[in-house]
Amino acid sequence: MRKYLPLYILSALLVMAALVFMTGTLGCDTGDRQEQTTTMPVDPADQPAGSEGMTSSLPPVSEIDLEKAAIAYNEITRINEDLQQSVQQTQDAAERQELQLTANEKMVQAAENAGLDFGTYNRIMQAVRSDQQMEILFQQKRKALQ
């Protein structure tokens, strides 16, 4: 049981990340687009009261990384939806655990297939959740991929 503890923690983080923006389907590939170095602007006037420093502690996110995160997010959402259906259809706890572990691996692979390591994907999703402008742009990118 102890050897699976990090996987349980990772799976909890994955599920939370997927549930934050639960909609959308698998997107298209980014192709051979050139890497952009534009960072998302953070206007302090647009931040909610009491949120000072929330985004300032996060590194800037390039527009291309935001698009990669949108691609990964769409795939991770699909994987999570498939997992939920599979878990509901099984009564065996060991099988449910195996389904969760497999889904976790697929989610990590989805981020890597989009061109991000999973830590970077989680950092971007944290930035999206804490910055309203970035969330709007993220949602636009997700919709464009559908």
Classify residue 68 as left (phi > 0), alpha (psi -120 to 50) or beta: alpha
Q: What are phi and psi of 62, to 5 degrees?
A: -75, 155
Tens-digit pLDDT string for the chain (146 aa): 445 445 445 555 555 544 443 433 333 333 333 333 333 333 333 444 444 444 456 678 899 999 999 999 999 999 999 999 999 999 999 999 999 999 999 999 999 999 999 999 999 999 999 999 999 999 999 999 88
DSSP 3-state of 62 = strand
User: Hey, how many other C-beta atoms are within 10 angstroms of the C-beta on 9?
Assistant: 10
Helix axes 93-113, 63-88, angle to 10 degrees: 160
